[in-house]
Structure 1
Amino acid sequence: MKKFFVLFIAIISIQGCGPYSFTGVNTTAESFQVNFFRNEAPIIEPGLDYDFTNALQDLILNQTNLQLVNRNADLIYEGEIVEYRVSPMSATADQTAAQNRLTISVNVRFYDTKNPEEDFERRFSFFYDYPAATQLITVKQAAHDEIFERITQDIFNETLANW
């Protein structure tokens, strides 16, 4: 009788906990799709649209057990890259730029077909600072990687992480 009671308490305890995820994902969705994020920024950087779309897909695949599908997904991500801008950030004593900032902004529309009250449209943005004496072409890949990592993580947190 004692073993039965211990087993009963263990089952009740485990059942009450529910599934746990280290990323904080708590969704009933089983699939997601990331539609192509067109580059509609005033400055067009070739390949930026493909790279961003793939970065978002990869992040969700790596941090969840959701299936990536091409259509009829439970979660749908779509949008466009709306800003790709380089601007001077700080000046030197002789009034030249000491540092430049690359800023990328992405407009995201998120649809949760199982939970429509979670749908939203929002702009996500991040930047990368680099020395003004350095040409963007020499830091472009590192800049894109860092910016994409931050923006995609922000999108993930907004849509799937329940912290």
Structure 2
Amino acid sequence: MPTKNLPKLIIFTSLFTLISCGIYSFTGGDTGNAKTIQVDFFNNNADLVEPSLSQSFTLALQDFFITQTNLDLIKSNGDLQFEGEITRYTITPMTATADQTAAQNRLTLQVNVRFYNRTDEKKNFEKKFSHFYDYDANTILQGSSLDTAFEEIFERITQNIFNASVANW
């Protein structure tokens, strides 16, 4: 007799779990009533300019939200909107060798983000997000080594922007 009701119990439990998730995604994001997202181009206003940085960061932020939410990316009038600029792109020596040369460098990226939630304006903010990538001083940051650095930095910064905007952290 108990085995006969097991399928019904499993279906009920599954439906209850899905319904109770409501507007939350499995990634922890709460997009509320928002259906669309707009990510404007992030200009590079840093003193040191890397030519591909603005486009690469903007695309990384767009891709992160597209894969982590069910929002549709649009060019204007998004329910959720991100805009801002890259304010810092620096390379600094971190550790030295015995002969006083750099053994390790640090690439630091800082982004100023303005977030607008047209469905709940109390959630609007302007914040700075920053992360770094340490690498061997003998490495020249170009090509695949620069791509690796960007990938790590972008992953952390986009996750932090996601957490601040829709994960309510």
State the partner residue of 1:17.
20
State the partner residue of 1:151.
157
Classify the secondary structure of the residue corresponding to 1:137.
Answer: coil
**Equivalent residue for 1:62, pick from 67, 90, 94:** 67
**Equivalent residue for 1:120, pick from 122, 125, 134:** 125
1:80-120 deviation digits (Å, cap 9, x = unpaired) = 00111000001112211110000011000000011111000
Q: Are residues 94 and 35 of structure 1, via their aligned partners in 2, closer, same or farther at CA, if it must alter by over 3 Å?
A: same
Q: Which moved more, 1:10-19 or 1:115-124?
A: 10-19
Compute the displacement of 1:21 (Å): 2.0
Structure 2 residue runs of 5 or longer lacking an equivalent are 1-7
Structure 1 residue runs of 5 or longer lacking an equivalent are 1-5
| TM-score, normalised via structure 1 length | 0.88
**Equivalent residue for 1:104, pick from 87, 97, 109:** 109
State the partner residue of 1:30.
35
| TM-score, normalised via structure 2 length | 0.85
**Equivalent residue for 2:142, pick from 124, 137, 146:** 137
Q: Are residues 26 and 93 of structure 1, via their aligned partners in 2, closer, same or farther at CA, if it must alter by over 3 Å?
A: same
Separation in 2 of the partners of 1:57 and 1:13?
A: 32
Q: CA RMSD for the aligned pairs?
A: 2.3
Q: Which amino acid aligns with 1:17?
A: S
Q: Are residues 132 and 65 of structure 1, via their aligned partners in 2, closer, same or farther at CA, if it must alter by over 3 Å?
A: same
Classify the secondary structure of the residue corresponding to 1:136.
Answer: coil
Q: Are residues 15 and 38 of structure 1, via their aligned partners in 2, closer, same or farther at CA, if it must alter by over 3 Å?
A: closer
Identity of aligned residues (%): 53
Separation in 1 of the partners of 2:48 and 2:37?
A: 30
Separation in 1 of the partners of 2:122 and 2:70?
A: 23
